[in-house]
Every structure is written in C-alpha cells, then in structure tokens.
Amino acid sequence: MPDMIFFLLAGLTYVSVPCLSMERGDFVPPDSVFSAFGMERSESGWLATQLKEVRIKVDDGGIKLNDNYYRAPDSFWKDDVLYMSAEFLSFILCKVIKGYAYWDRNKKRFFVTGDDPTITSISLEDIGDSVCLTVKYAHGVHLKPQADPSSPSLLTVGVPGGFYWKAFRLEGSGPVKEVVIAHTESGLTLRIPLNEGAAGFGIQDRSDLFVVSVYKAKKLREPQQKRRKIDLIVIDAGHGGKDPGAVGHNDLQEKDITLPVALALKRKLEKELGAKVILTRNDDRFVTLGDRARIANRAGADLFISLHCNWSKNKDACGVETYFLAAARTDWERSVAAFENKAIEYEGESVDKSDTVGYILSDMIQNEYLKESQDLAAFIQEGIVATTNFENRGVKQAGFYVLRGCYMPAVLVEMGFVSNKLDAKNLQKKEVQEDIVKGIAQGIKEFIRRYER
C-alpha cells in the first residue's frame, strides 16, 4: 500500500490515500482511510477515539459505526481491495473525527477543517410543476450560488465557501435524476443530472437560503392528457410605467398603444373563442421581461402574444411584422430585438441576474415550440394584413428576451411604426386598433383550427 501523506496548512489538514477515479466518482479503500486518519486496528475492525469511542466495522455493502449501519453506494472489490465512494467515506469520517472531513474532487485527497459547515441543509422537493432544491445557510452566512448549465442534461451549481457534511447524494425526482454534492477546498458543487423532462431552471437567491427550481416540461406535468385544448392565452402589452418603449411621431409612446390593443384583444378572445385570457399588465405599470414570461409559465398558458410597436430612424419605414424566437438573420431583425431587449435596462438593480443563465436552457425550450411559434406568427401576420391597410413586412425571427422564457408557442407582434407619420396616426385610431385586434384573433383562430385536437 502506498505511503500516506499529511500536510498542515492554514487550519486545513490534507490526507492523501490511494484513489480510483471513475465516471461516477472517486473511490478509495476504507481501510487505508481509517489507517491514514490514525484509527487503531482492532480484531473486529477499527477503533476511533478522537471524538468518543466508536467501533468501526467495514463490510462489502457499508460501514457500521457502533450500532448504526450506513449503506455505501457502489462499493466494489479490485485486486483484493475493497473500494468505497470517497464522498461516502468523508461523511463517515465526519462522525468519528474532530472537525469535518471533505473529499476534494480536484486534488483527489481529503481535507479536514475545524470550521463548522456553512450550509446546514440541502433538500429536494417535488412541488408539482417543478422540482426545488433548497440549500439553507448556517446562521449569519450568505453565499453566492453560480449556475452553469453546461448541457441540457447536466446543471452544475457552484457554491464558493459552501461546506456541508451530512449528505453526499440525494435521490432524484421527476426531471432531476439525482443531486451529487461534491467539495473542493474553495467550496461545494452541486451536480444535477437532468432527464428529458426538464424544461429549464431558475435560481432564487435569498439572504438565508437559495432555491434551484428545475421546471418540468409540460408533457411531464400532464402525462395522461392526450387531447390538446388551446384556451388559455397570455397577452403581453409591451413596456409600461417608467418604460415608454419607442417614442415616435408627435411623441407618441409605444406603451400607450400596446395597452388598449391588449385590453381589446382580451375582450374579443374571451367573447369569440370562450378562451381565458391573462394580461401581463392591465394598466400603465412596469413589468420586467422575466416576470412577463413567468406569468405565462405559472398560468400554464397555451399561447403567449407580446404586443409592440416598431421604430426606425428612417421615418418612411412603415408596416407590420410578426416575430418568433430564433437567431436573427438580418441586421434589421437584430436591431429590432436589440431595441425591445433594452427594456431590461429599466429593471435596474432588482434584476435577478442568476435567472438569466436559465435562458440558455430556455432557448432549447422555445426550440421545442419553434415550428408552432413560426406558424402562429405566420397566421397572425396574415390576419393583420387582411384586416388593416398596414404594409406587410412579413414574418421575421430574432432573439427577444421576453420570448425566451416562455414554455409555449410565443410570438411578438410589431403592429406598425410609431416613427412613421401615417402609421402613428392609424395606431391611435380606435377603429384601426379594432382591426388589428380582429386580425390577431383571426390568426389565433387559424392556429387553434390547425393544432387543437
């Protein structure tokens, strides 16, 4: 057996033992661990005397500490040596040594510290439409989690300064396969493998805890529902409150057009389709881009329609265009999305920046609805062109933040240019607004005709 090495540095003790690194984790022989930590070998196993007297008995399946048996996940024999998960052994060590032992995944060694863990509990709970991982801090501690959605099948959350000894792995639920808790000297890492039932995630960061929510894909939420009913629609009146949106001809503000059109559209859809319609705002107030999508997701909406007005330096530019979420192909598409995304600047300090990383996964969600969003955009564009005299600028695509967070077919309508004299005049007319509403409703009806079953 190789020599054991001891270090002592800045209150940390390092203990190296032979290690086998495998895809599912690091494995070390329990006997060499107990020997390296100075336990006495007895006829029936090992004897720990640091904290109190603990009889340690190792068998193929786990470890017995006095009368308590702990099952080891994935233990195995190799060349007549029994190996167990290093994280499992650090959990065992914490129960028998002075201080806390952690396995450092990067450096492949145990480190021991006398400091109390900064995290007091980690738990996973299925709350219906999502699975929540709650991490609570010790008194007076505040940590900053950093999410890294490295791939759709693996979410990694780093917690610098986070130390927790109780669990090394949590059973999964729904879209979460499991939660693997691993340490390095600088803190804790939560590895969260996801299955295809995951539809994105968000992090809520509070002073005493943080929560990682993994959202369930709709089909996972309603496995028994074969029929598809499209009768819950979210209408999003762009901008509002301190965010006027585009300001155009005669100081016409975009937010003052989007609201009356949204209100009229709600009335029409409820009356003619019997649909339930939810507005993201029904008065002149500010709503963040993230909250607009969240309102739709929480309601489990079937469609999301965001209403906006266009703007251009070129005062001759006019007409209507409808967008779905996809990479922009032209400078114009890019500039329209950049203009609308600027609304995020009004969100100031209150923006939950950690949530923005969720967009990477969210883009994949809108991919799931790409074809349907594209069709919805086409039907709405056709409808408005048929019912109004606005110029037809066609269906377009770009990366709008407000659409990214939506787990349903979602489109953004640019109903005309506030910067164009004639469009601006028309947009303010009640009867033209009614025509736009009629056109959008026609488009939605066509979508329902094609997709409802």
Tell the smallest beta-carbon distance from residue 373 to Zn ion (Å): 18
Distance of CA 156 to the CA centre of its chain: 11
Report helix, strand or coil for 267: helix
Nearer to Zn ion, 147 or 318 (CB): 318
Host H or E run for residue 397:
strand 392-398
State yes or no: residue 245 binds Zn ion (CB under 5 A): yes
Nearer to Zn ion, 210 or 400 (CB): 400
> Nearest-5° angle of CA 314, CA 311, CA 343?
140
Q: How many residues bind Zn ion (CB under 5 A)?
A: 4
Q: Which of 162, 156, 121 is nearest to 141 (CA)?
A: 162
* Beta carbons of 42 and 35 less than 8 angstroms apart: no
Provide the Cα torsion 357, 290, 442, 321; round to 10°. -70
For residue 93, the cross-strand partners are none
Backbone angles phi, psi at 141, to 5 degrees: -95, 140
Nearer to Zn ion, 31 or 414 (CB): 414
Instruction: Please give, one letter per residue, the 3-state secondary structure of 184-253.
Output: ECCEEEEEEEECCCEEEEEEEECCCEEEEEEEECHHHHCCCCCCCCCCEEEEEECCECCECCCECHHHCE
Nearer to Zn ion, 238 or 290 (CB): 238
Tell the smallest beta-carbon distance from residue 141 to Zn ion (Å): 42
State yes or no: residue 416 binds Zn ion (CB under 5 A): no
Query: Can you tell me the distance from the alpha carbon of 69 to that of 244, in angstroms, rounded to the nearest whole number?
Result: 65
> Among the candidate windows 37-45, 67-75, 307-315, 402-410, which touches Zn ion by CB under 5 A?
307-315
> Among the candidate windows 66-74, 108-116, 243-251, 434-442, which touches Zn ion by CB under 5 A?
243-251
State yes or no: residue 281 binds Zn ion (CB under 5 A): no
Nearer to Zn ion, 253 or 373 (CB): 253
Nearer to Zn ion, 245 or 399 (CB): 245
Nearer to Zn ion, 199 or 424 (CB): 424
Nearer to Zn ion, 33 or 412 (CB): 412
State yes or no: residue 292 binds Zn ion (CB under 5 A): no
State yes or no: residue 238 binds Zn ion (CB under 5 A): yes
CA distance readout (Å), 271 to 11, 268, 283, 332, 453: 71, 5, 21, 37, 21
Tell the smallest beta-carbon distance from residue 240 to Zn ion (Å): 10
User: For residue 137, what are its two tokens?
Assistant: 């801090």
> Among the candidate windows 173-181, 227-235, 242-250, 390-398, which touches Zn ion by CB under 5 A?
242-250
In the set 218, 308, 393, 438, which binds Zn ion (CB under 5 A)? 308
Query: Can you tell me the distance from the alpha carbon of 171 to that of 324, in angstroms, rounded to the nearest whole number?
Result: 38
In the set 104, 129, 243, 340, which binds Zn ion (CB under 5 A)? 340
> Among the candidate windows 106-114, 123-131, 339-347, 366-374, which touches Zn ion by CB under 5 A?
339-347
Chain residues that interact with Zn ion, rule: CB under 5 A: 238, 245, 308, 340
